[in-house]
Structure 1
Amino acid sequence: MTFFQAIIIAIVEGLTEFLPVSSTGHMIIVSSLLGISKDEFTKLFEVVIQLGAILAVVVLYWKKFFVFDKNRMNFYLKLIVAVIPALILGYLFGDKIDTLLESPMTVGVSLFVGGIILLFVDNWFQQPTIDTDEKINIFAALRIGFFQCIALIPGVSRSAASIIGGMQQKLTRNVAAEFSFFLAVPTMAAATGYKLLKGRELLMAHPENLKLLLVGNIVAFVVAMLAIKFFIDSLKKHGFKIWGYYRIVVGLAIIIALLMGYKLEL
C-alpha cells in the first residue's frame, strides 16, 4: 500500500463511517478499484483507521464524554450495555464474518436491500417520544445494541442499523443519530484494539507501516469531522431517502458488474 492509496482509503473511511452507507463496503470496493492487495496489513489498516474517525466523535461531543455530572455515569453505562451484543457476536462469529468480507455479492446485496429499507424508514417511525439521550433507558440502549449487530454483515451500515434501532425505540432522528455516533466509540475502539493486538507482530516486523497508519488516522479524523456535521444537517432537512437511493445505485452497480463477470478482489 502506498501513501496515496492510504490517503484515499482514509478519506473513504472518514466520509462513510457515520453515514448510513457502509464504510466497510466502500473501503472494500475502493481498495479493489485501486488494486490494493488484500494482505494482512491492508486488512489491519482498514480497521485501525477507525480510531481517527471515532476521535472525531469524541472531539465534537467532548462534553458528553468529559464533563462529569450526575448523568455522566449513566451515559457511560448505557454505552457499555449497548456495545455488549456486538462484542459477543463479533467474537463468536469472527471467522464467519471474515468469510463474508471476501464476498463482493454480499456487499452488493446488502447495500441494495439496505437502500430499499432507508426509503421507508422515515414513514415507519413518525411519533418519537425521546428527544434527548438522557431519556434513553438501559433496556432501550441494549435493544439498539442488538440492532447494531446486523452491521456485522458486510455492506450493512453500522450507522444505519443503530440509528434505525434508535428510531424503533422512539428516539427522534437526531438523537438516534447522535447515540449511534456515541456507540461507535466503544464499538470501534474495541474492534481496533483487538486488531492491533492480533497484528502487533506484523507492525513490529515492518515499522514503516506505522507511518501509513498515522497518516490514515489523521486523514480519517479530519474528514469524519466534516462528514458528521454534514450528515446531521442532511438528516434534519432530507431524512434518509437520499441515502437510500444512493445505496440502491451503488448496490445495483456492484451486482450487475459481478453478473457481467467483472472481478472484485476482496
Structure 2
Amino acid sequence: MEYVNSIILGIIEGITEFLPISSTGHLIIAEQWLGHRSDMFNIVIQAGAILAVTIIYWRRLVDLVLGWRDPRNRAYAAKLIVAFLITAVLGLIVKKLGFELPENATPIAWALIIGGVWMIFAEWAAARRPPHKEITWLVAILVGIAQVVAGVFPGTSRSGATIFVAMLAGTGNRAAATEFAFLVGIPTMYAASAYELLKTFKDGGAANENWTSLGIAFVVSTIVAFVAVKWLLSYIRSNRFTMFAIYRIILGAILLGMAATGVIA
C-alpha cells in the first residue's frame, strides 16, 4: 500500500503542479487519508514535475544559453535570473523565520477560494489590455515575490500566482505569461529540492526516508506532469483559466464544509 500511495501522490502532484489549482494544497489534503509525508518527499516529487517542464522547454532553454549574443535572449534570461534570486532570498528568510506548512484544511480552503476569485478578476483585467508578450522588469520582480507568497500560503498555487501576476503587471498574453512562470519555476524548484536533500542528509534524516517510495512518486509525477503541461499549453491558446478558478472555488467550499463537519482536520 505504501507504493500505491506513492503512485497516487505522484499522480496528484503531476496533475496539479502546473495547473493553477495548487499542488501543495492538494498534497496536504491527500495526506489526510494517505498518511503524512516529509517536506522533502513533497518538494522532491515537485522536482519530478519540474523535470517534465525542463524536457518540454529544452529547446527554449538551449536557445537562451547558446543565443546569449542576441540582446532579447540576454534580457529575457536576466529577468529569469532576477525573479529566481528574489524567490531564493525571500524563501531563505521565510525558512529562517521557522515557517511551517499548515496541517489542517481550513487555510488551504480559503486560499483556494480567494485565489479562484482573484483569477477571475485577473482574466477580466488582462482582457481589457492590449495582448502583448513583453516580460518587463516589473513582471520579473513580482513573479519572484509571487512564488514566495504561494509557498507561504498553500492553496494559492505557485503557477497560478506567477501567471496571473505577470498578466496583471502588463503581460496580457496568456501563453507568454505561462512560459515565463514555468521557466522561472525550473531553477526555483530544483534549488528547493537540492536544499531539502542537503538538509536531510546533514540532519541524518536520510535513513528514515523511504527512497523507493520517493523514487516511484518522482517518476510518476514526471510522466503525469509532462502530459498535463502539454495539454495546458494547448488549452490556453484558445481558452481562459476560468474553468480552473471555478474548480478552486468549489473545492474550497467543499473543504470548508468537510472541516466544519469533522470529516477532515
TM-score, normalised to structure 1, is 0.88
Cα distance change of structure 1 residues 197 and 120 upon mapping to structure 2, 3 Å threshold: same
Instruction: Give the Cα–Cα distance (whole angstroms) in 1 for the partners of residues 9 and 98 of structure 2.
Output: 21
Instruction: Give the Cα–Cα distance (whole angstroms) in 1 for the partners of residues 36 and 181 of structure 2.
Output: 32
Residue 193 (structure 1) shift = 1.0
Unaligned runs of 5+ in 2: none
Cα distance change of structure 1 residues 249 and 96 upon mapping to structure 2, 3 Å threshold: farther
1:50 and 2:49 are equivalent in the alignment: no
Residue 136 (structure 1) shift = 2.1
Cα distance change of structure 1 residues 220 and 149 upon mapping to structure 2, 3 Å threshold: same
Identity of aligned residues (%): 34
Aligned-CA RMSD value? 2.0
Aligned mate of 2:58, from 62, 82, 98: 62
Q: Deviations over 1:179-202 (max 9, x none)?
A: 111011011111111111111222
Residue 263 (structure 1) shift = 3.1
Q: Which residue of 2 aligns with 1:202?
A: 205
1:86 and 2:87 are equivalent in the alignment: yes
Instruction: Give the Cα–Cα distance (whole angstroms) in 2 for the partners of residues 255 and 151 of structure 1.
Output: 20
Residue 130 (structure 1) shift = 3.1
Residue 95 (structure 1) shift = 6.5
Q: Which residue of 2 aligns with 1:104?
A: 105
Instruction: Give the Cα–Cα distance (whole angstroms) in 2 for the partners of residues 25 and 96 of structure 1.
Output: 21
Unaligned runs of 5+ in 1: none
Secondary structure at the aligned position of 1:83 is classed as: helix
Q: Which residue of 1 aligns with 2:257?
A: 256
Secondary structure at the aligned position of 2:156 is classed as: coil
- Cα contact 2:139–2:170 (8 A) shared by 1: no
Instruction: Give the Cα–Cα distance (whole angstroms) in 2 for the partners of residues 147 and 178 of structure 1.
Output: 15
Single out whichever of 43-52 and 85-94 deviates more from structure 2: 85-94
Q: Which residue of 2 aligns with 1:11?
A: 11
| Matched length | 255
Q: Which residue of 2 aligns with 1:245?
A: 246
TM-score, normalised to structure 2, is 0.89
1:130 and 2:132 are equivalent in the alignment: yes
Q: Deviations over 1:15-37 (max 9, x none)?
A: 00001000000011112122x13
- Cα contact 1:14–1:221 (8 A) shared by 2: yes
Q: Which residue of 2 aligns with 1:180?
A: 181
1:158 and 2:158 are equivalent in the alignment: yes
Cα distance change of structure 1 residues 244 and 140 upon mapping to structure 2, 3 Å threshold: closer
Instruction: Give the Cα–Cα distance (whole angstroms) in 2 for the partners of residues 147 and 43 of structure 1.
Output: 20
